[in-house]
Amino acid sequence: RKPAGAPDKSLARPVTKVGIVGAGLMASQLALLFVRRLEVPVIMTDLDQERVDKGVAHVHAEIDKLAAKGRLDQDRVNRYKALISGDTTKAGMADVELVIEAVFEEMSVKQQVWAEVEAVVSPECVLASNTSSLSITQMASRLEHPERVVGLHFFNPVAVMPLLEVITGERTDEATLATAFAVGRQLKKTTVLCADSPSFIVNRLLGRFMSDMARIVDAGTPIDVADQGFAGIAPMPPFVLMGLVGPAIALHNNESLAAAFPDRFYVSPALRRVVEAGKRGYYTQVEGRTVLDPEVLALQ
């Protein structure tokens, strides 16, 4: 289905409590954003207590950093911290109006998460995926109420990047889209409506850029990491950007795009080895300088 434009604002449902599935880095950034902008309780869940505690601690630490910069007074610090909670079950999500998931980029994992969430929440609760490339239609296909599933794709760093992609699945209804747009406005993001197509808008463009960068390096040309401006094409050097996104996400994005458009996307064998070796990217810090990681070069 082609997006037909912004939905009717009057159909938006209020969001007074938010559930987040996953307590990793993206999930923690989302929790902070929702607490700051919506000022509503946010419950984070993950598979074990250690991950939950780490996620909640990360949000608390980010709140403290904002306070140290003079951006939050003590009253807000206390209030925001009190709004964040964590759990290993989804029981606390029974009364939320919006759940956003930021778990591993694997269709079966996402489908499993939504099945578990659907068993707990009300039929109107909006289920939003922060997937960067997977199909919203397929993700919703096994649910009793697929019409309340939508994509809300945020960019890293979540606090700073202005864009929010709202992805409509084939069965996503107007009230769900209206709620997604209303939430985007409350979060002070620029919301754009996207059809459910591989990697949506930004990651499809970025994927091409990243896959060609990897192709150049694979062909033996090192890319100058010191070129911060990179001819104005990117706000940071491309492989530093890949480190920010995470090489596993970048690889996954390129694999999905190469599967959909084999003639246009390149999957770098070196990038695959970087991910398998658990590296954070192509570059590393040596004596305060960013340099091509010799261990990654050895992997090529």
- Give the footprint of ligand 3HC on this chain (CB under 6 A): 132, 155-157, 159-161, 203, 206, 235-236, 241, 245, 249
Q: In terms of CB distance, is 65 or 142 closer to ligand 3HC?
A: 65
Task: Tell me how far, at minimum, the Cβ of 14 lies from ligand 3HC, in Å.
Answer: 28
Residue 153 is among the residues annotated as catalytic for this protein = yes
Marked catalytic residue, from 58, 60, 145, 153: 153
The sign of the torsion formed by the CA atoms of 206, 195, 184, 150 equals: negative
Q: In terms of CB distance, is 161 or 216 closer to ligand 3HC?
A: 161
Task: Tell me how far, at minimum, the Cβ of 33 lies from ligand 3HC, in Å.
Answer: 10
Residue 234 sits at the vertex; the CA angle it makes with 230 and 239, to the nearest 5 degrees, is 80
Looking at beta carbons, which residue is closest to ligand 3HC?
132
Q: In terms of CB distance, is 136 or 249 closer to ligand 3HC?
A: 249
Element (H, E) at 52: helix 49-68
What whole-number distance in Å separates Cα of residue 75 and Cα of residue 72? 8
Task: Tell me how far, at minimum, the Cβ of 157 lies from ligand 3HC, in Å.
Answer: 3
85: CB partners within 8 A, 6+ apart: 41, 42, 43, 44, 56, 92
CB 261 within 8 A of CB 199: no
The sign of the torsion formed by the CA atoms of 83, 86, 92, 98 equals: positive
The letter for the amino acid at 175 is A
Q: In terms of CB distance, is 4 or 159 closer to ligand 3HC?
A: 159
Task: Tell me how far, at minimum, the Cβ of 91 lies from ligand 3HC, in Å.
Answer: 29
Q: Write out the catalytic residue numbers.
A: 153
